[in-house]
């Protein structure tokens, strides 16, 4: 093929012959090339000779042209036909479909962003899909990368950076609170020196665990936002690698991949700053549990379990209050029975009257207790609903 292309190349312009013309010496050149040679070798004055002299660029022989110049030279019809056949054979052909034998991939599926054949569209898995011409789809998507980059706005960038700063500030603030508690504990236990060393180390371990909980609470959020920042920077820099000079299919594949990454980034929800609380406060814990601890009972001094948790607005009734409430009910019932005995002793009643009196009294008590229990159940249900929504918001 290379030797054939050399034979079909003009020796003047070193390109394939364009409108080949044959000189009287049998050499062939492009018509435009002969016009240029004739213009250089001939003085175009108003007194032209009847025959125009021309030196052949190959054999250097002087040939005479008619007065109308190169236009009068015969066309090398055979050579022109060979060139046209050569050019048609070297044109890129559409690839064939891997699923349907000898079917060219000449249709672009917009939905799946790939070339398909006619059978894929009519009987294959692409039935009903939107199609387009490859070049038309290429023209439509030429400006898509620029529009996608516009979605990565400065406002969202500032929002991400602002959240990172706030999270860092909150993390530092809570670490500062833990460090303040650490200093309080250190000052408290330094008074006891060696006797308090074991307790002091226990408190240090607890606070280290609290710091770990704090890091676990904030670090994933910070890392997520940092990853989003890096992804946005990478997408902005990636736009330079998408060139319109590439083939249409490669360009569309890159644009589709770029669109998917941009959509995934822009649709990712930004995390909320958790309303984190550290419980208990060690300063208060020491005042409540350690101020009354004597040296002889030092081993009994309690060690707190510090936890970092999101604030929840619900309460649980202490067991002591529950015992007191049931004790009060028992005493009330006992007093009621004693009152009935005294009443019966002071004013005897028949069995029917006593039964009727007891039934009415007990029915009234049951109705009253039923109303109280109904109110308590309604309050607990409301509290549970609020807790459920808050937990959903936290997990979401």
Q: What percent of the chain has pLDDT over 90?
A: 6
pLDDT digits (tens, 9 = 90+) for 298-326: 777 888 877 777 554 433 444 444 444 44
Range of the domain at 244: 154-310
Mean pLDDT of 362-385: 53
Please, which pLDDT band fits residue 279 given cuts at 50, 70 and 90?
confident
259-273 confidence digits (pLDDT tens): 888 888 888 888 888
Check whether residue 303 and residue 345 sit in a common domain: no
Q: Please tell me whether residues 289 and 346 are part of one structural domain.
A: no
Position with higher pLDDT, 231 vs 53: 231
Residue scoring higher pLDDT (353 or 166): 166
The SS3 of residue 13 is coil
- Identify the pLDDT of residue 62: 86
In this prediction, residue 353 has a pLDDT band, given cuts at 50, 70 and 90, of low
- Cβ proximity of 71 and 50 under 8 Å: no
Which pLDDT score is estimated for 375? Answer: 61
Question: Mean pLDDT, to the nearest integer, of 346-360?
Answer: 56
Mean pLDDT of the chain: 76
In the chain, which ranges are continuous DSSP H helix? Answer: 2-7, 31-41, 77-89, 118-122, 134-140, 144-151, 154-190, 197-238, 248-266, 282-289, 319-346, 351-395
* pLDDT mean over 209-238: 86
Dihedral over Cα of 182, 183, 188, 192: its sign: positive
Looking at the fold, whether 304 and 163 belong to one and the same domain comes out as yes
**Residue 122 resides in a domain:** no
Handedness of CA 27, 30, 36, 42 (dihedral sign): positive
The residue-averaged pLDDT of 139-145 equals 86
295 in the same domain as 164: yes
Residue range 175-199: mean pLDDT, rounded: 81
- The reported pLDDT for the residue numbered 163 is 93
Residue with tokens 């999270």: 167
Q: What percent of the chain has pLDDT over 70?
A: 71
Domain count of the chain? 3
Check whether residue 233 and residue 296 sit in a common domain.
yes
The predicted structure's pLDDT at residue 46: 45
**Which of 310, 334, 349 finishes a domain?**
310
Same domain, 211 and 244: yes
What is the average pLDDT across 78-100? 80
Residue 109 lies in a domain: no
Q: Is residue 134 part of a domain?
A: no
Q: Indicate if the pLDDT at residue 31 is higher than 50.
A: yes
104 burial level (CB within 10 Å; 0-12, 13-18, 19+): middle
What's residue 165's pLDDT?
A: 93
- Residue at 193 is within a domain: yes
368: confidence class by pLDDT, cuts 50, 70, 90? low
| 247 located within any domain | yes
More confident residue, 27 or 302: 27
More confident residue, 135 or 94: 135
pLDDT band of 394, cuts 50, 70, 90: very low
Q: Is 128 a member of any domain?
A: no
> Is residue 164 over pLDDT 90?
yes
Tell me, what's the pLDDT at 176? 93
295 and 363 assigned to the same domain: no
Check residue 218 and give its pLDDT.
85
Q: Quick one: pLDDT at residue 395? A: 40
Do 169 and 299 share a domain, yes or no? yes
CATH at 40: 3.30.40.10
Query: Any bridge partners for residue 278, and if so which?
Result: 308
Residue 76 · residue 8 · CB < 8 Å: no
Looking at the structure, do residues 281 and 390 belong to the same domain, yes or no? no
pTM over 0.75, yes/no? no
Average pLDDT, integer, range 164-191: 88
Same domain, 285 and 249: yes
Q: Where does a domain end: 266, 286, 310?
A: 310
Do residues 276 and 250 share a domain?
yes
Q: Give the model's confidence band at 20: pLDDT under 50 very low, under 70 low, under 90 confident, else very high.
A: very high
Q: Is the pLDDT of residue 384 over 60?
A: no
Please report whether residue 290 resides in a domain.
Answer: yes
More confident residue, 165 or 194: 165
The span from the first CA to the last CA of the chain, in angstroms, equals 66
Position 199 in a domain: yes
With 50 as the cut, is the pLDDT of residue 352 above it?
yes
pLDDT on residue 231: 86
207 & 297 share domain: yes
Our CA dihedral for 367, 372, 377, 379, rounded to 10 degrees, sits at 150
Are 208 and 185 within 8 A, CB to CB? Answer: no
Q: Which of 310, 341, 371 is the last residue of a domain?
A: 310
55-77 residue pLDDT tens: 888 888 888 887 777 888 889 99
pLDDT score at 166:
93
CA distances from 282 to 19, 160, 194, 266 (A): 97, 34, 21, 43
- 394's CB contacts (< 8 A; 6+ apart) are 274, 310
Q: Give 119-137 pLDDT, tens digit per residue.
A: 888 888 888 888 888 888 8
């Amino acid at each position: 093929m290379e030797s054939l292309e050399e034979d079909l190349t003009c020796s003047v312009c070193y390109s394939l012959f364009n409108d080949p013309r044959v000189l009287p010496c049998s050499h062939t050149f492009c018509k435009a090339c002969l016009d240029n040679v004739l213009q250089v070798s001939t003085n175009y004055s108003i007194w032209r000779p009847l025959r125009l002299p021309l030196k052949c660029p190959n054999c250097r022989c002087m040939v005479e042209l008619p007065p109308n110049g190169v236009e009068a030279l015969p066309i090398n019809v055979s050579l022109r036909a060979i060139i046209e056949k050569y050019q048609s054979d070297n044109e890129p052909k559409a690839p064939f479909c891997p699923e349907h034998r000898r079917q060219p991939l000449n249709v672009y599926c917009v939905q799946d962003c790939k070339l398909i054949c006619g059978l894929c569209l009519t009987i294959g898995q692409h039935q009903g899909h939107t199609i387009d011409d490859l070049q038309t789809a290429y023209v439509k998507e030429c400006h898509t990368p620029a529009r996608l980059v516009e979605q990565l706005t400065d406002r969202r960038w500032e929002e991400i950076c602002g959240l990172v700063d706030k999270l860092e500030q909150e993390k530092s603030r809570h670490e500062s609170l833990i460090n303040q508690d650490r200093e309080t504990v250190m000052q408290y236990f330094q008074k006891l020196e060696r006797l308090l060393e074991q307790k002091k180390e226990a408190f240090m371990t607890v606070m280290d665990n609290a710091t770990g909980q704090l890091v676990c609470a904030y670090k994933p959020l910070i890392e997520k936002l940092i990853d989003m920042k890096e992804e946005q920077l990478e997408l902005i820099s990636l736009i330079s690698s998408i060139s319109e000079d590439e083939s249409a299919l490669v360009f569309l594949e890159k644009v589709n991949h770029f669109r998917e990454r941009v959509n995934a980034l822009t649709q990712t929800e930004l995390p909320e700053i958790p309303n984190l609380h550290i419980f208990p406060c060690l300063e208060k814990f020491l005042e409540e549990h350690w101020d009354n601890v004597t040296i002889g009972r030092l081993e009994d001094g309690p060690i707190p379990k510090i936890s970092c948790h999101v604030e929840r607005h619900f309460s649980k009734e202490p067991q002591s209050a529950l015992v007191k409430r049931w004790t009060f009910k028992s005493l009330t019932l006992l007093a009621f029975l004693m009152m009935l005995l005294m009443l019966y002793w002071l004013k005897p009643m028949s069995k029917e009257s006593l039964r009727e009196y007891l039934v009415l009294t007990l029915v009234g008590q049951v109705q009253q207790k039923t109303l109280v229990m109904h109110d308590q159940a309604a309050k607990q249900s409301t509290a549970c609903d609020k807790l459920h929504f808050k937990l959903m918001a936290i997990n979401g």
